[in-house]
C-alpha cells in the first residue's frame, strides 16, 4: 500500500536550532509510530546540516528543502543548489511555492529550470500549483503544469509530486472545500495525461496544501483521494501536527 505523504513546510520558522530540534524529534517519533505515513520535514536551510544527523532511526522520515537554485554550483550569491541539498541528505525539495511566486517574482520559467535541476541532482521536486482568489483555476493549473514540467520526460516525471495549494487558502484558515479539491485533482490529472502517457500520469502523487488542520486533514485523504498533504502553520504546532498524522491513518 502506498504511504500517505505528509510534508511539513516550516517556512521561516522556528527562530532557533534548539526549537527546530524539538519539533523534529517529535515528528520523527510520530513517523515511527505511524507507518501509514511518510513524513518529510522542510526546515529553513540553516537547520538542515544539523537535523540531517538525526535523520536515522525512522525509515519513513525524510528531509526536504523549501527551494533550490536552478544551478548546481557557481557564482549565484545567496543561492543553495539542489546538489548541496542532496549531498546533505535531503530527498525532496518544494518548488514554486506561492510565497516565492508572489514575493520573489518566481516565474514558471524559473520554476521549470529548478525542477529540472532538482531532478538532475536526484531530488524529488514538489511542484506547487494553485490559483489566486478570483483567478480561473483551470487556466492556472494548466499553465503552471505545462510550463513547470516543460522538458521533463516520461522517465523523470515519476519523481515529481504536485501540491495543489490555492493561494487564498494558504495561512488564511479558509481551507479548500471538498468539491473544489476534487475538481482540482481532476484538472491536474487531465493536464498530466495531456503531457504524459496515462499510466505515468496516474502515478504522479497529488497533495493538498492550504490551512490544513486536524479538523480537515482526513477529508482530503479519505474523501478527496489526495496522496498526501503539504502542511504549513500546523506543522510547527507539535500536538496539532501529530493529530494530523494520526487522522490520516486508515
Ligand atoms: P498553511 O501553509 O498550512 O499555513 O496554510 C501551507 C503552505 O504554504 O504550504
Ligand 1 centroid vs 167 CA: distance in angstroms?
9
Ligand 1 centroid vs 219 CA: distance in angstroms?
17
Q: Which ligand 1 atom is the nearest neighbour of the CA of 171? A: 5
Can you say how many angstroms the Cα of residue 174 is from the centroid of all Cα atoms in its chain? 19
Provide the annotated active-site residues: 97, 165
Q: Output the residue whose Cα is nearest ligand 1's atom 6.
A: 232
Q: Output the residue whose Cα is nearest ligand 1's atom 9.
A: 232
Kindly indicate the confidence band of residue 236, based on its pLDDT and cuts at 50, 70 and 90.
very high
Mean pLDDT, range 223-248, rounded to an integer:
97
Q: Which ligand 1 atom is the nearest neighbour of the CA of 163? A: 9
Per-residue pLDDT at 249 exceeds 90: no
Ligand 1 centroid vs 151 CA: distance in angstroms?
28
Q: Are 231 and 169 in contact (CB under 8 A)?
A: no
Q: Output the residue whose Cα is nearest ligand 1's atom 3.
A: 232
Q: What pTM was computed for the model? A: 0.97
Q: What residues contact 24, with CB distance under 8 A and at least 6 apart?
A: 41, 43, 51, 54
Mean pLDDT, range 92-107, rounded to an integer:
98
Q: Output the residue whose Cα is nearest ligand 1's atom 7.
A: 232
Rounded Cα distance, 111 and 117, in Å: 10
Q: What residues contact 250, with CB distance under 8 A and at least 6 apart?
A: 36, 222
Mutate to test the pocket of ligand 1, among 9, 130, 162 (most ligand atoms within 8 A of CB): 9
Cell numbers for 125, please give them.
Answer: 521536486
Ligand 1 centroid vs 221 CA: distance in angstroms?
17
Mean pLDDT, range 193-202, rounded to an integer:
95
Q: What residues contact 160, with CB distance under 8 A and at least 6 apart?
A: 115, 119, 124, 125, 127, 149, 152, 204
Q: Which ligand 1 atom is the nearest neighbour of the CA of 234? A: 3
Ligand 1 pocket residues where CB is under 6 Å = 9, 165, 170-171, 209-212, 230-234
Helix 238-247 to helix 17-33 angle (10° resolution) is: 20
pLDDT, residue 250, reads 60
Per-residue pLDDT reduced to its tens digit, 177-186: 999 999 999 9
Rounded Cα distance, 166 and 50, in Å: 32
Residue 128, helix vs strand vs coil: strand
Mean pLDDT, range 196-206, rounded to an integer:
95
Kindly indicate the confidence band of residue 200, based on its pLDDT and cuts at 50, 70 and 90.
very high
Return the half-sphere exposure (C-beta side, CA atoms, 13 A cut-off) of residue 73.
5
Ligand 1 centroid vs 9 CA: distance in angstroms?
7
Helix 108-120 to helix 137-148 angle (10° resolution) is: 50
**Greatest alpha-carbon span in the chain:** 48
Amino acid at each position: 500500500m502506498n504511504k500517505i505523504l505528509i510534508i511539513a513546510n516550516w517556512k521561516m520558522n522556528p527562530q532557533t536550532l534548539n526549537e527546530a530540534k524539538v519539533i523534529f524529534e517529535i515528528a520523527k517519533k510520530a513517523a515511527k509510530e505511524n507507518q501509514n505515513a511518510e513524513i518529510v520535514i522542510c526546515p529553513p536551510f540553516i537547520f538542515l546540516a544539523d537535523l540531517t544527523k538525526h535523520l536515522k532511526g525512522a525509515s519513513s522520515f525524510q528531509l526536504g528543502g523549501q527551494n533550490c537554485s536552478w544551478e548546481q554550483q557557481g557564482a549565484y550569491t545567496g543561492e543553495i543548489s539542489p546538489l548541496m541539498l542532496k549531498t546533505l541528505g535531503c530527498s525532496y525539495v518544494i518548488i514554486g511555492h506561492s510565497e516565492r511566486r508572489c514575493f520573489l517574482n518566481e516565474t514558471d520559467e524559473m520554476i521549470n529550470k529548478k525542477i529540472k535541476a532538482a531532478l538532475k541532482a536526484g531530488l524529488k521536486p514538489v511542484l506547487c500549483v494553485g490559483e489566486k482568489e478570483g483567478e480561473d483555476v483551470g487556466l492556472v493549473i494548466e499553465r503552471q503544469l505545462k510550463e513547470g514540467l516543460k522538458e521533463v520526460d516520461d522517465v523523470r516525471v515519476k519523481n515529481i509530486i504536485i501540491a495543489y495549494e490555492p493561494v487564498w487558502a494558504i495561512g488564511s484558515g479558509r481551507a479548500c472545500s471538498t468539491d473544489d479539491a476534487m475538481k482540482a485533482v481532476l484538472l491536474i490529472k487531465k493536464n498530466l495525461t495531456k503531457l504524459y502517457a496515462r499510466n505515468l500520469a496516474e502515478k504522479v502523487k497529488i497533495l493538498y496544501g492550504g490551512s490544513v488542520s486536524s479538523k480537515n486533514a482526513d477529508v482530503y485523504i479519505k474523501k478527496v483521494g489526495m496522496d498526501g498533504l503539504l502542511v504549513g502553520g500546523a506543522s510547527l504546532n507539535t500536538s496539532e501536527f501529530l493529530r494530523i498524522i494520526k487522522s490520516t491513518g486508515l
